[in-house]
Amino acid sequence: MGIDRHTGVDPDDFRNNKFMAEELLCPWASHTDAIRMNMFTSNVTQAVALVHPEPPMVFTGFEKQVGSLSSAKKLADGNMVLHRKVRKHQSAVLYILRDDKRMLVKTFEVPVAKNITECFGYSVLDGLEDAEDGDEIPEGTRLIYSAEWDDEDNFSYGANLKAVFMPLWGMTYEDGVIISESAAKRMSATMVQDIKVSLNTNDILVNCYGDGTNYVPFPDVGEKVLDRVLCARRRLNYQSVYHDFASDRIADINFSTDDVFYAEGTVIDMEVYSNAPVEQLEKSSFNDCILDRLRQNTEYYERVAEALGGLKREDYALDDEAGFALQRAQLMLSKEHKFVDDGRSDFDNMILKFKLACNSPLVEGSKITGRYGNKGTVSVVLPDDQMPFADDGQQAEVILNVLGVVGRLNPGQLFEQEVNFVGNELTKRMKGMGFLEAYKLYCRFLKALMPKEQFMCIRRRTAKLSDEDLTFYMEEVAEEGIRVMIPPFHGCPDFFAVSDLYEEFDVKPLGITIPAPEGMVRPKRNVVMGNMYLMRLKHDAEGKFSARSAGALSLAAIPSKNNKPFKSHMAPYPKTAVRLGEMELVNMFALGDIEELYRFLSLYSSSEADRRELIRRLLGTDDEGGSVYSIEKVEKLKDAPSLPQSILAEYLSCMGMELVDGDGNPVVPVRRRRAPVNKG
C-alpha cells in the first residue's frame, strides 16, 4: 500500500538530519531534563540487541535514518552472481559473490550470532538462505542483517511494555522495577561467549558428555551445554595415572584438581588450532573427537581456498574480506605455519576455541531504561498472574516508581505512557466500529498530537486507498495499536495537549486489582496503564556479583580485583571484593543497629588483620582460625552451605534485615564470638 506506519507514511520520504545524535530518538526531548537527556545518550550506546525487538509505539521519525546508516547489514553494491556457497557446518556458511562486470569477488560469512561487546551480541539473519550456486543477486539485495531493522530499515532497539507507576511491596523503591515473566522473556538478549581451552601434551579432556562406551569430552556444534560445564581439563600425573584415567573416573569431574570451563548456551562454532602433527594426535583415542572437528574444518578451508584461488587465477580481484578469507584458509591448511597464543608465543600441542550463543531473559539485577534517562534495576520478576490487572483484563508488564518522575524532572516518560494509554483505549472502540468510523477516530487522535505536515501526509496517502485496503489497514491499527510520530524538539505536543486527550476522547484511568498472598487488593485510586518503550542495558547481574574477599588482599595474598578465572570461564562466578558506597552506608545507618554497623565497618576497613578475621567468619572458620571448609574450594563442596547466601546474610544482619530462602526459612550465618572493635 506504500504506507509504513513505523516511520510515518512514505518509505521513500523519511525524516533526515545532517548530523546524527542520540537525542533524535527521544520523543519530547525538549521536555526532558538536560542531565537525564545526557544519560539517555549514554544509555543508547550501552543498549543491547534484543532477540525480537519491537518498533516504538511513539517514534520520532529518525529511526529510519539510524537504520540506513547501520553497519549491521550488508547490501549487494552491484549485480552479482553467487559463485559458491561454502557451508562450514549447520551454524555458519560463507558466501562467495562474483561481479563479472568489475571482475571483482566479495565474500561474507553468516554465523548464527555475532558478538558486539563483552558477551553481548545479536542474531544474524541470512538474506541468501534460499539462494543456490549460480543464482543472480541483483544490486541492493540484503545479504545479511539484524532483527533490529525491518524491511524499511527502521531501527528497533527495545520493547513496548504496559507500564504503571505505583509503589508495590517496597520493590519499586528508588530505582527498583517489577517486571512480569513474559515481559522479561520479550526482552531476551543474545549472549555470545568465546572460550579458549588450551591443551598441552600432558592434558586430557574429561568424558563429560559420553558414557562408559563412548568418549565425548565436549558438545558438538549445534548442541547445548549441560549443567553449565563446557568441558574439563585433567593434567596427566604419572603417580596416579591408572587411577585418574580409569574408565569409571575419566567421566567424573574432580572439582578440586581438574580445570573446569563454565559456559551456557549452544555451541555455534568450534575451531582447532594444532601445532602437533596429526600422526601424533592419532596415537591417543582421547583426541578422536578433536580430530573429527579438525578434519571438518580442514575440508571447509580446502573448499574456500579452492574457490577463491581459482577465481584469483582467472584474474578476478578480491576485495579486503575475500582476500582475508583466502589468506586465513591458506594459513589453516599450511603445515609449516605455527600458531601463536594471543600473539605472544607458540605452543606445542593445540588450542580449542568455542563460540556459544544463548537467549538470556531479564533477571533480577538486570538494568533497563526508557528514552528519558529513566533507568531502573529489576528488583523482582513476577509470574504474570501476580501482576496487577485492570478491570478490562489488561495486565501490567512493568511497575515503576512514581517518585522517579518528579525527582528526575523527566515528565516525557509520562507523556509517552499516557498517549499510548489513550491510543489503546481508542483501538478497543475501533474493533466495534465500521472502517470509516474507525478511520475518522484514528485521524482525530493523530491530528491532536502530530505535526500538521505529517498528519496531512497520512490523510493524503490513506485517502487513496480502496475500501478494502482501508478496512485491512484499520483492522491492523485496531489489533497492533496506534503508532504516533512525536518529533524530539520543535512541534511536539506539550503537557496541556496530552492532558486534553482525556476530555476530548472521554477516556478515564482504569480501576485495577493487585493479587496478594492475603487475597485480591483493590486500590481506591485508578491508574493509567500505557505502553512505554524500554531498552535493555549491557549490565550482567551475574558478572557484577561478588563472593570472595572483603579487603584489598585475599587470604592467599592475591589482589581482590584479580578476576581472571571468571573472565576466562574457569570460575562459576566472580570473586572480587564487595565494596560499599556512600548511599549503601547511609541506608545502613537509617535502617540498622548502629553498634552492629560500627563493628562491621571496623572489621571491614580498619586494618588488614580485621579484614582477614571478617573473611574467615564469612567463609565458615572457627574462632581459632581453623578451617571448617576449604576456603579456596568452598563453592565446589556438595555439602557446603551456599557461599553467596552466607555473605548476604552476614551483610544484611547489620541492617536489621533477614535473608530468607524460597520457602521463607531464614538463612542465618553461624554466630561466632563477638570480635573486639578496632578503634585505631
Q: Quick one: 451 and 368 in the same domain?
A: yes
d(CA 403, CA 420): 21
Q: Quick one: 417 and 520 in the same domain?
A: yes
Which among 515, 534, 553 is the end of a domain?
534
The helix (H) or strand (E) run that includes residue 333 is: helix 320-333
Distance of CA 507 to the CA centre of its chain: 37
pLDDT at 638: 41
d(CA 195, CA 209): 18
395 touches 355 (CB < 8 A): no
219 touches 225 (CB < 8 A): yes
9 vs 645, more confident: 645
533 touches 6 (CB < 8 A): no
CA dihedral sign of residues 396, 399, 402, 405: negative
Q: Quick one: 549 and 464 in the same domain?
A: no
Q: What is the mean pLDDT of the chain?
A: 80
Q: What is the CATH number of the domain that holds 479?
A: 2.40.270.10
pLDDT at 383: 93
% of the chain with per-residue pLDDT over 70: 77
Q: Quick one: 505 and 558 in the same domain?
A: no
Domain membership flag for residue 161: yes
Q: Quick one: 527 and 573 in the same domain?
A: no
368 vs 614, more confident: 368
The confidence band for 555, taking pLDDT boundaries of 50, 70 and 90, is very low
Domain membership flag for residue 308: no
Residue 655 has pLDDT above 60, yes or no: no
The helix (H) or strand (E) run that includes residue 142 is: strand 142-146
Helices (H) then strands (E): counts for the chain: 19, 28
Q: Quick one: 506 and 566 in the same domain?
A: no
Residue 490 has pLDDT above 80, yes or no: no
Domain membership flag for residue 131: no
DSSP H helices, 388-546, are 403-408, 412-430, 435-449, 452-463, 467-480, 495-504, 541-544
Q: Quick one: 254 and 372 in the same domain?
A: no
Question: Distances from the Cα of 332 to the Cαs of 335, 347, 490, in angstroms?
Answer: 8, 15, 57
Q: Quick one: 467 and 343 in the same domain?
A: no
The whole-model pTM stands at 0.78
Q: Quick one: 563 and 478 in the same domain?
A: no
The predicted-structure confidence for 340-351, as pLDDT tens digits, reads as follows 887 667 788 899
Q: Quick one: 523 and 562 in the same domain?
A: no
Beta bridge partners of 136: 81
Domain membership flag for residue 128: no
Q: Quick one: 237 and 276 in the same domain?
A: yes
198 CB burial (10 A radius; 0-12, 13-18, 19+): middle
Number of folded domains that form the chain: 3
The confidence band for 567, taking pLDDT boundaries of 50, 70 and 90, is confident
Domain membership flag for residue 452: yes
Q: What is the CATH number of the domain that holds 348?
A: 2.40.50
**For cell 533507568, what's the residue?**
375
The predicted-structure confidence for 415-462, as pLDDT tens digits, reads as follows 999 999 999 999 999 988 888 999 999 999 999 998 888 888 888 888
Q: Which residues contact 242 (CB under 8 A, 6 or more apart)?
A: none
Q: Give the mean pLDDT of 47-73.
A: 83
Residue 625 has pLDDT above 50, yes or no: no
What residues make up the domain containing 388?
A: 22-66+157-187+362-534
Residues belonging to the chain: 680
DSSP state string for 274-320: E-S-HHHHTT-GGGHHHHHHHHHHHHHHHHHHHHHHHHHHTTPEE-H
The SS3 call for residue 265 is coil
Domain membership flag for residue 649: yes
d(CA 376, CA 368): 6
Residue 636 has pLDDT above 80, yes or no: no
Which among 490, 515, 534 is the end of a domain?
534
The predicted-structure confidence for 582-611, as pLDDT tens digits, reads as follows 565 666 665 555 665 665 555 555 455 655
Domain membership flag for residue 480: yes
Residue 37 has pLDDT above 50, yes or no: yes
Domain membership flag for residue 418: yes
Residue 10 has pLDDT above 50, yes or no: no
Residue 675 has pLDDT above 60, yes or no: no
Q: Quick one: 244 and 354 in the same domain?
A: yes
pLDDT at 524: 85
Which among 318, 344, 360 is the end of a domain?
360
Look at residues 83, 75, 108, 82 and name the one whose alpha carbon lies nearest to residue 94.
Answer: 108
Crossing angle of the two packed helices 412-430 and 467-480, in degrees rounded to 10: 130
Q: Which residues contact 210 (CB under 8 A, 6 or more apart)?
A: 216, 217, 251
The predicted-structure confidence for 175-208, as pLDDT tens digits, reads as follows 889 999 999 999 999 999 999 999 988 888 999 9
Q: Which residues contact 15 (CB under 8 A, 6 or more apart)?
A: 7, 8, 60, 61, 62, 64, 65, 487
The predicted-structure confidence for 297-330, as pLDDT tens digits, reads as follows 999 999 999 999 999 999 999 999 999 999 999 9
